Structure formats: structure tokens, C-alpha cells
């Protein structure tokens, strides 16, 4: 039994959830999101206005999909109310980021600057030249944008230079010995 799947997703005031077949749509102050459930789980509304996810049968695939489907619906509700945010830190001499209109300019030690166009529905802010804050209502897209930016120069283990998530621990290696 899924411990996460058993819990119903509460829908706060100001947010409306709608279930049409296998599609769960959530509308809130920040926007509208929807998610299509697979055929192994069913969604229903409880009498107190929460969304309940249940497996269709006791198969291994249905039980595996149950908790993930509940978490996806909970992320829809959180996204339209609070939103999601990822912070990236840039470490290295001369490494910096700047936002120019809808394009993020990254100087990461290459012979050229990297231009990253900001996707629709995502907001990027650079409070400091060595810090990038990515925010939006869709958790998957926020995480994907953060991963794409980090991929341009992942942190290296010797000096720790590169782009890393805030709070990420880089396992450091010792240099060459004489």
C-alpha cells in the first residue's frame, strides 16, 4: 500500500479542481495546470473538496503509479497557489550570469558567451551576477530549465568551479601529489 497515495490532496480556498475522465485540471491565482493520469489509477473528488487517487486494481503497475499520480496532482495544486523555485549558484573567477530581456547571458569560461532563451511560463531573475533564480508554476519545467542551465558547466570536483544548485554539496578531490 502506498502511504503517499492513501492521502487525499487538499484543495485550498481560491483553487478549483476539475476531473474529466483521466485528466485532472487545477485553476488557481497563478494560472491553470492539468495532468493526464494513466489508466492504472482513478481520480475522484471527496465530499470535503479534496482530490483522492486510487489504483484500479492490485497489480504491481497500478500500485507503482498510485503514489506518483498523487504527488503529480499535489504539485498541480502547489504550483497554482505558491509556485516553484530553483536557485543556482555560479562559482569561478569571471563566471557570471546576466538577464537581457528574454535571454539569459552566461559567461562560464568558454571563448564565447552562452545565450539561453527563457521559455514561456518561466521567470528567471539574477539578483547577483553569481546567482540565478528560476521560478514558475510547473515543477517539471522549472526543474528542467535549471538542469539545462547547470549542464552548460557542471561543477568540477577539484576546485568546485561551475554552476550548481543552491545547497548542493560537491564532493571534492585532492590534486596531484609531487
Please write the tens of the pLDDT for every residue from 31-90: 999 999 999 999 999 888 899 999 999 889 998 899 999 999 999 999 999 999 999 999
Q: Provide the H-helix boundaries in the chain.
A: 3-6, 60-81, 139-151
Q: Looking at 4-18, 88-102, 109-123, which range is the least confident one? A: 4-18
Provide mean pLDDT across the span 138-166. 95
Q: What is the DSSP letter of 34?
A: E
The mean pLDDT value of the chain amounts to 93
Question: Is 173 strand, coil or helix?
Answer: coil
Per-residue confidence band for 163, with pLDDT thresholds at 50, 70 and 90: very high
Copy the grid coordinates of residue 126.
539574477
> Could you give the angle at which helices 60-81 and 139-151 cross, rounded to 10 degrees?
90
The string of DSSP codes covering 98-138 is: EEETTEEEEE-SSSS-EEEEPPTTEEEE-SSTTEEEEEES-
Looking at residue 54, its pLDDT comes to: 92
Residues with Cβ within 8 Å of 136's Cβ and at least 6 positions away in sequence, in order, are: 79, 83, 84, 121, 122, 123, 142, 145
Q: What is the model's pLDDT at position 2?
A: 66
HSE-CB of 81 using CA atoms within 13 angstroms: 15
**21 vs 142, which has greater pLDDT?**
142
pLDDT at 1 exceeding the cut of 70: no
pLDDT at 49: 87
Amino acid at each position: 500500500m502506498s502511504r503517499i497515495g492513501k492521502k487525499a490532496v487538499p484543495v485550498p480556498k481560491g483553487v478549483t479542481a476539475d476531473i474529466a475522465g483521466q485528466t485532472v485540471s487545477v485553476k488557481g491565482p497563478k494560472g491553470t495546470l492539468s495532468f493526464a493520469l494513466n489508466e492504472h489509477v482513478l481520480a475522484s473528488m471527496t465530499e470535503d473538496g479534496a482530490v483522492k487517487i486510487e489504483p484500479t486494481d492490485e497489480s504491481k503497475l497500478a500500485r507503482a503509479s498510485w503514489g506518483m499520480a498523487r504527488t503529480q496532482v499535489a504539485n498541480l495544486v502547489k504550483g497554482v497557489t505558491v509556485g516553484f523555485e530553483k536557485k543556482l549558484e555560479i562559482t569561478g573567477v569571471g563566471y557570471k550570469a546576466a538577464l537581457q530581456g528574454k535571454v539569459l547571458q552566461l559567461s562560464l569560461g568558454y571563448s564565447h558567451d552562452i545565450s539561453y532563451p527563457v521559455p514561456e511560463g518561466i521567470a528567471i531573475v539574477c539578483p547577483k551576477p553569481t546567482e540565478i533564480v528560476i521560478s514558475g508554476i510547473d515543477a517539471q519545467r522549472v526543474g528542467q530549465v535549471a538542469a539545462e542551465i547547470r549542464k552548460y558547466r557542471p561543477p568540477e570536483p577539484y576546485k568546485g568551479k561551475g554552476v550548481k544548485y543552491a545547497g548542493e554539496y560537491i564532493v571534492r578531490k585532492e590534486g596531484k601529489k609531487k
